[in-house]
Chains A and B, each alone.
Chain A
Amino acid sequence: MRSRERAEMSDTAERTANAFTGPPTGGPRAGRIDPRVRRALALVGQQRELTVLVVVVLLIVYFGFISSASSAFFERVNLVNMSQIAAPIVIIAIGEVPLLICGEIDLSPGFVYAFAPFLMYFLIVYHGFPVLLAIIVALVFGLVVGAVNGFITVTLGIPSFIATLGTGFILYGLTLSSSNATQATPTANSLGVGKWLGGYGFAEIAWAVALTILAHVILTRTRWGLHTIAVGGNQLGAREAGIHVARIKYGNFMVSGLLGALVGLQIAFQTNVIDPNAGGYQPMFYSVAAAVIGGTALLGGSGTIIGAFLGSIMLAVLTDGFNVIGISAYPLNEIFGGAILIAMIANIQLARLRASGRLR
């Protein structure tokens, strides 16, 4: 309601602005950039995934063939390790990208991640739930957290950064108090199902790849994906076109919660430990970083799942590669930070060039 009124109030201002800015293309400043540079920039702008892919390949070539540890890099144990670093980032990023596209963010999936395996554990141990049912309830819990985030953000109008900050803290407290801040071990009868979630070495990356493909198709080939982009690109316009903005945002928050819960269960089965301090902000920040590196602008309206997938792989290869060659992990964060900033600056500057008509 408030935003509608504001839109109503700003009619005049918008009209004035339109009258003076005129058509967005052309203009006297067009063509000030050298055409070759412009073509190169346009390619980078349109093929962000390609750029990240090239970086990933270069990193793999470096760590796998050039660096001091090249013999160990392609060993099965290292590939498993690398995939287990990448998969959680990928899966949480799959939840974050649509939210970032529709102009929101979810800080809480790392805390759903921590609580979901405890919920499964409690249901099996104290309430006699069958394993599969307990897992399903834990996943549904993720959906519920997402719905609560949606309610606070969309219905109550709290910015999602604050809303999910709050629910994240609440979940963390819930995890600590219900577990008494003590670790648990997944019950023996759950390990069979658990193998398919995260027990097998490549189980997580298989989920990550399958979910990436599914999410990519949903985002680019279905009405849901198109409407997500529309909501992020022009929320008022999307509403005027009759798109149910609230439904889109609720749905995307719920998917993010669901995927947080899934990753939590996977990690519990992978490590065979249910840790109250698992998750937290780090997986979420890595996922948002991966999304940004992959070309998702935090301004809404643009971003791809494939880009976030490649961004996640890039972070995982870097993390793992540094481990393998035995360099201190300290400079790693400098590289991460640099990559995030370069990617974001590219996003913003390319968008600015495109808006000014100097780049198509």
Chain B
Amino acid sequence: MTAADSYGYDVNEGPPLQSTAASGPSAVELGDDVLRAEHLTKRFGPVTALIDVNLHLRRGEILGLIGDNGAGKSTLLKILCGFQQPDTGQIVLNGQPVTFRSVDHARSLGVDAVYQDLALINQLSVYHNMFLNRERVNGPLLNNRAMRRTSREYLNEMGVNIPSVDSLVASLSGGQRQAIAVARAVYSDAKILLLDEPLAAMGAKEVALILDLIRDLKRRGDVSIIVIAHNYGQVLEICDRVNLLQHGRITLDKHSPDTSVQELNDIVVAEYRRALEQRQQSA
């Protein structure tokens, strides 16, 4: 993935940014930027995953991050949550430039992520996963009773249906696992939540469950969310604004009402055709 360099055109000149977000009308009244990424670049050896990426997230906003496989979405997310460091560029959190030293550090500043692989441990119970690396303790010992009770209450409150908090995560369905991962992040009091494809491989009922969960979070306010997703319809349904990432660059930044599934599809398909032609010409 992230083979931006292998496309047949000069990536540094990439497609121009299409935007309505800077000046266009806003459907929702939103606060200041809680998170800004400025000029982020990331390379993995010869592969450039991100090129001069600028992104901003307002208070209480849900931002959809879309783009084809290998466009750099996951890399961007991993930088925003402190899992990886950018080669250049900076992150501005609540107006202050910050360097996330680690996931722990980012989390302590209120930025938490739910990864595509969910970071769940199959061999552990639901409640141990809910509290992974933030375990409740009594002195040196785990306070399993408190973790079990809190998990049960919290998952009930969020409407997440699981057989028992004692179940091993391995025995749960994909939707249940996703819901637990999201619940875990929210429970940790994250102010900025990064969701990496929360809707991948979900059945219709499970998609509804996750979408309700995200809407519910928005209603509670105070949480700003970046969602990576593939299904443009779902993205436009829940997101206030959409950013399109292509070959490591953000090429579109529009409010959801200002764009459509059709437009987003057309852009991505046109991009694909162009790259294909260039490759055939150079071959």
Residues of A within 8 A of B (CB): 4-5, 8-9, 11-12, 14-15, 18-19, 21-26, 217, 221-223, 226-227, 229-230, 232-234, 236-243, 301-302, 354-355, 360
Shortest Cβ distance from residue A59 to the other chain B in the assembled complex, whole angstroms = 30
A241:B119 contact, CB within 8 angstroms: yes
What chain B residues lie within 8 Å of A9 (beta carbons)? 1
Q: Known contacts A241-B119, A302-B123; is A8 also within 8 Å of B142 by CB?
A: no
B69:A12 contact, CB within 8 angstroms: yes
List which B106-156 residues lie within 8 A (CB) of chain A.
107, 113, 115-124, 128, 132-133, 135, 137, 140-142, 144
Shortest Cβ distance from residue A103 to the other chain B in the assembled complex, whole angstroms = 12
For residue B175, CB closer than 8 A to chain A, the reply is yes
Closest to B143 in A: A221
Within the assembled complex, what's the spacing in Å between the Cα atoms of A302 and B174? Answer: 22
B1:A243 contact, CB within 8 angstroms: no
What chain A residues lie within 8 Å of B104 (beta carbons)? 242
B116:A15 contact, CB within 8 angstroms: yes
**Given pairs A21-B201, A226-B135, 9 additional interface contacts (CB within 8 A):** A5-B44, A24-B173, A223-B137, A226-B124, A238-B119, A239-B103, A240-B115, A241-B132, A355-B170
What chain A residues lie within 8 Å of B78 (beta carbons)? 8
A242:B102 contact, CB within 8 angstroms: yes
A301:B122 contact, CB within 8 angstroms: yes
Say which residue of A12, A222, A238, A240 sits within 8 Å of B142 (CB atoms). Answer: A222
Shortest Cβ distance from residue B7 to the other chain A in the assembled complex, whole angstroms = 16
Shortest Cβ distance from residue B237 to the other chain A in the assembled complex, whole angstroms = 20
Within the assembled complex, what's the spacing in Å between the Cα atoms of A241 and B131? Answer: 10
B133:A227 contact, CB within 8 angstroms: yes
Shortest Cβ distance from residue A158 to the other chain B in the assembled complex, whole angstroms = 21
B123:A242 contact, CB within 8 angstroms: no
For residue B2, CB closer than 8 A to chain A, the reply is yes
In the complex, the number of residue pairs spanning A and B with C-beta atoms less than 8 Å apart equals 118
For residue B89, CB closer than 8 A to chain A, the reply is no
Residues of B within 8 A of A (CB): 1-2, 44-45, 49, 69-70, 74-75, 78, 83-84, 102-104, 107, 113, 115-124, 128, 132-133, 135, 137, 140-142, 144, 170-175, 197, 200-201, 203
Say which residue of A19, A222, A226, A354 sits within 8 Å of B128 (CB atoms). Answer: A226
What chain B residues lie within 8 Å of A226 (beta carbons)? 124, 128, 132, 135, 142
Q: Known contacts A4-B84, A19-B200, A243-B132; is A24 also within 8 Å of B170 by CB?
A: yes
Within the assembled complex, what's the spacing in Å between the Cα atoms of A227 and B78? Answer: 22
What chain B residues lie within 8 Å of A302 (beta carbons)? 123
Shortest Cβ distance from residue B150 to the other chain A in the assembled complex, whole angstroms = 16
What chain A residues lie within 8 Å of B83 (beta carbons)? 239-240
What chain A residues lie within 8 Å of B70 (beta carbons)? 12
Closest to B72 in A: A8
What chain B residues lie within 8 Å of A23 (beta carbons)? 173-175, 203
B124:A229 contact, CB within 8 angstroms: yes
What chain A residues lie within 8 Å of B197 (beta carbons)? 15
B103:A233 contact, CB within 8 angstroms: no
Say which residue of B103, B122, B171, B172 sits within 8 Å of A241 (CB atoms). Answer: B103
B201:A19 contact, CB within 8 angstroms: yes
A11:B74 contact, CB within 8 angstroms: yes
Q: Known contacts A8-B44, A234-B119; is A18 also within 8 Å of B142 by CB?
A: no
Say which residue of A4, A25, A26, A230 sits within 8 Å of B121 (CB atoms). Answer: A230
A237:B173 contact, CB within 8 angstroms: no
Q: Known contacts A5-B44, A8-B44, A8-B75; is A237 also within 8 Å of B119 by CB?
A: yes
Q: List 19 A-B contacts (CB under 8 A).
A: A8-B1, A8-B44, A8-B78, A11-B69, A15-B69, A18-B201, A19-B200, A22-B174, A222-B141, A223-B137, A233-B121, A234-B120, A234-B122, A238-B121, A240-B117, A242-B107, A242-B133, A301-B122, A302-B123
A22:B201 contact, CB within 8 angstroms: yes
What chain A residues lie within 8 Å of B107 (beta carbons)? 242
Residue with the greatest number of chain B CB neighbours at <10 A, chosen from A217, A229, A233, A355: A233
A223:B135 contact, CB within 8 angstroms: yes
Shortest Cβ distance from residue B191 to the other chain A in the assembled complex, whole angstroms = 17
A221:B133 contact, CB within 8 angstroms: no
Within the assembled complex, what's the spacing in Å between the Cα atoms of A23 and B204? Answer: 13
B118:A237 contact, CB within 8 angstroms: yes
What chain A residues lie within 8 Å of B135 (beta carbons)? 223, 226
A234:B170 contact, CB within 8 angstroms: no
Closest 6 CB pairs of A and B: A23-B173, A237-B119, A240-B119, A233-B123, A301-B123, A242-B104
What chain A residues lie within 8 Å of B137 (beta carbons)? 223
What chain B residues lie within 8 Å of A360 (beta carbons)? 171
What chain A residues lie within 8 Å of B102 (beta carbons)? 242
What chain B residues lie within 8 Å of A237 (beta carbons)? 115, 117-121
Within the assembled complex, what's the spacing in Å between the Cα atoms of A24 and B201? Answer: 11
Residue with the greatest number of chain B CB neighbours at <10 A, chosen from A229, A230, A238, A241: A241
Residue with the greatest number of chain B CB neighbours at <10 A, chosen from A18, A23, A24, A25: A23
Closest to A13 in B: B1
Shortest Cβ distance from residue B119 to the other chain A in the assembled complex, whole angstroms = 4
Shortest Cβ distance from residue B15 to the other chain A in the assembled complex, whole angstroms = 22
Shortest Cβ distance from residue A75 to the other chain B in the assembled complex, whole angstroms = 41
Within the assembled complex, what's the spacing in Å between the Cα atoms of A242 and B171? Answer: 24
What chain B residues lie within 8 Å of A354 (beta carbons)? 170-171
